[in-house]
């Protein structure tokens, strides 16, 4: 089928490339000419395992196209997938302005019956408004333009795999025709399809993401209690993982969740609940726990040291998790800000996210402190007074415990991802603080 995907971020680009991989003719639309040129050269604007390989393969095969010409792109496709951003606003609500812009472009340029599919994460009821909005601006009133919901459930760092091997495809429609078209589009994937109405599909996305955020915050809450009463969260999590009712995923304690989904989606669902007059207590608690968790190790270090002024602080890991260069809501941001305010001289290492972090914190002086970027973990650790671990990259895991003792001026390590064994660090002569152990 002839498909168009609006937006080339994590949602749109991955979806478009995977649709092309399944044999559809796909055009990805973006407003940025430089970005389009980059993608046409086979380079992905986002770091995602396996994505560039499929981009080059399907572009060469003539199934994948990129353009800024939305007028031509929206003229005669069979379906248009909307994958633009819905960023968080100050009050926690979702910004739908990008959705609205695409919808108006579609309405003013489409020339044949078409299914518009919203993949972006949107508040419950948005698809109803999208359909009405398109009708309001539709130039050719005789056309049948339906809207469906098709939320994504990919994880950054494994987005391509998650799309091609999804546990299920959620589709929300209001007609048999719309459901039939979506089933035809997804038939080559060979994956289970769960069909429901639009509002249920929109809610399923939030319910899934917020449940996972709840699991993470619950484990962090339990981890904090473990520290106080002498239990080990790693052992607790292992014991829990054998219970099939709980499962083994999302039980790892740390310094909180980040990224483009969990922080935004928990706040957005809380906002929707408040607007509906309902206090969503569990999600509210998850948001509160996560906010406090991010700087828990900084608080420990503050109580241990008289001052951070002129101390060399090694910061290992900047991305919110391994396998991505995404910094959205990354714990490193909160902690680097505090360290600089307190006068620390930061030596930061991240194998992927450094370029994005430099845009926020260029190398050099920042207030009382400074930041320098280095090419490997050991360079960051050399003569450091303390070390913070914010992302569990494999390059970091390869550093042996004794190297902290050998390289650092003060072997003082605050591990927000529980990378190292407590006993091994102690035996290596490292003063080691982690989460829940």
Give the CATH number, domain containing residue 387: 3.40.50.720
Same domain, 281 and 298: no
User: How many independent structural domains does the chain possess?
Assistant: 3
Tokens of 104: 């108006």
DSSP 197: -
d(CA 280, CA 423): 41
Q: Which of 162, 179, 196 is the last residue of a domain?
A: 196
Residue 270's domain comprises 205-292
Assess whether pLDDT exceeds 90 at residue 77. yes
Determine the Cα angle at 324 with ends 319 and 325, to 5°.
Answer: 55
Of the residues 103, 226, 261, 377, only one is catalytic, namely 261
Residues whose CB falls within 8 Å of the CB of residue 180, separated by 6 or more in sequence, listed in order: none
Buried b (16+ CB within 10 A) or exposed e, 122-135: bbbebbebbbebbe
The 10s digit of each residue's pLDDT in 152-169 is 998 888 999 999 999 999
Question: Which pLDDT band, with edges at 50, 70 and 90, does 221 fall under?
Answer: very high
- Which CATH number is 281's domain given? 1.10.1040.10
Same domain, 255 and 307: no
Assess whether pLDDT exceeds 90 at residue 56. yes
Same domain, 243 and 192: no
Assess whether pLDDT exceeds 90 at residue 207. yes
Q: Which of 292, 327, 344 is the last residue of a domain?
A: 292
Same domain, 409 and 285: no
Same domain, 345 and 264: no
Same domain, 153 and 220: no
Same domain, 348 and 428: yes
Question: Which pLDDT band, with edges at 50, 70 and 90, does 233 fall under?
Answer: very high
Q: Examine the residue annotation and report whether 261 is marked as an active-site residue of this protein.
A: yes
Q: For a pLDDT cut of 90, what percent of the chain falls above it?
A: 97
Same domain, 183 and 304: no
d(CA 194, CA 146): 19
Residues whose CB falls within 8 Å of the CB of residue 123, separated by 6 or more in sequence, listed in order: 93, 94, 96, 202, 268, 272
Same domain, 40 and 128: yes
Q: What pLDDT is recorded for position 284? A: 96
Tokens of 324: 């991505």
Mean pLDDT score, 86-91: 91
Same domain, 147 and 9: yes
The 10s digit of each residue's pLDDT in 295-347 is 999 999 999 999 999 999 999 999 999 999 999 999 999 999 999 999 999 99
Same domain, 49 and 169: yes
Same domain, 413 and 286: no
Q: Which of 196, 216, 239 is the last residue of a domain?
A: 196
Q: What pLDDT is recorded for position 423? A: 97
């Amino acid at each position: 089928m002839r498909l168009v995907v609006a937006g080339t971020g994590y949602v749109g680009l991955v979806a478009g490339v995977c649709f092309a991989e399944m044999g559809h003719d796909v055009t990805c639309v973006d407003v940025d000419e430089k970005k389009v040129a980059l993608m046409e050269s086979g380079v992905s604007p986002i770091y995602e395992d396996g994505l560039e390989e499929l981009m080059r393969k399907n572009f060469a095969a003539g199934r994948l196209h990129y353009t800024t010409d939305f007028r031509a792109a929206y003229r005669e496709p069979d379906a248009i997938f909307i994958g633009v951003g819905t960023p968080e606003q100050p009050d926690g609500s979702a910004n739908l302005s990008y959705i609205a812009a695409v919808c108006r472009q579609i309405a003013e340029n489409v020339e044949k019956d078409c299914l518009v599919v919203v993949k972006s994460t949107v508040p419950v009821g948005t698809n109803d408004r999208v359909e009405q909005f398109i009708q309001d601006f539709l130039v050719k009133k005789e056309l049948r333009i339906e809207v469906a919901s098709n939320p994504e459930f990919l994880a950054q760092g494994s987005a391509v795999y998650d799309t091609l091997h999804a546990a299920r495809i959620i589709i929300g429609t209001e007609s048999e025709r719309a459901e039939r078209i979506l089933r035809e589009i997804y038939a080559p994937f060979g994956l289970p399809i769960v069909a429901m109405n639009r509002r249920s599909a929109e809610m399923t996305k939030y319910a899934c993401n917020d449940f996972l955020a709840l699991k993470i915050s619950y484990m962090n809450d339990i981890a904090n209690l473990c520290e106080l009463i002498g239990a080990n969260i790693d052992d607790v999590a292992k014991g829990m993982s054998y219970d099939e009712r709980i499962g083994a995923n999302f039980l790892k304690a740390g310094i909180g969740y980040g990224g483009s989904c969990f922080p935004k989606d928990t706040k957005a669902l809380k906002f929707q609940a408040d607007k509906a007059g309902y206090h969503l207590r569990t999600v509210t608690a998850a948001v509160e726990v996560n906010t406090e968790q991010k700087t828990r190790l900084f608080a420990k270090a503050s109580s241990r040291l008289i001052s951070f002024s002129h101390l060399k602080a090694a910061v290992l890991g900047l991305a919110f998790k391994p396998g991505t260069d995404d910094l959205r809501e990354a714990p490193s941001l909160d902690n680097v800000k505090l360290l600089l305010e307190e006068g620390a001289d930061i030596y930061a290492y991240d194998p992927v996210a450094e370029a994005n972090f430099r845009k926020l914190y260029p190398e050099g002086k920042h207030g009382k402190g400074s930041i320098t970027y280095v090419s490997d973990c050991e360079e960051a650790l050399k003569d450091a007074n303390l070390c913070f671990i914010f992302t569990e990259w494999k390059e970091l895991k390869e550093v042996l415990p004794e190297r902290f003792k050998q390289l650092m001026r003060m072997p003082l390590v605050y591990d927000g991802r529980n990378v190292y064994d407590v006993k091994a660090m102690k035996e290596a002569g490292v003063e080691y603080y982690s989460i829940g152990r």
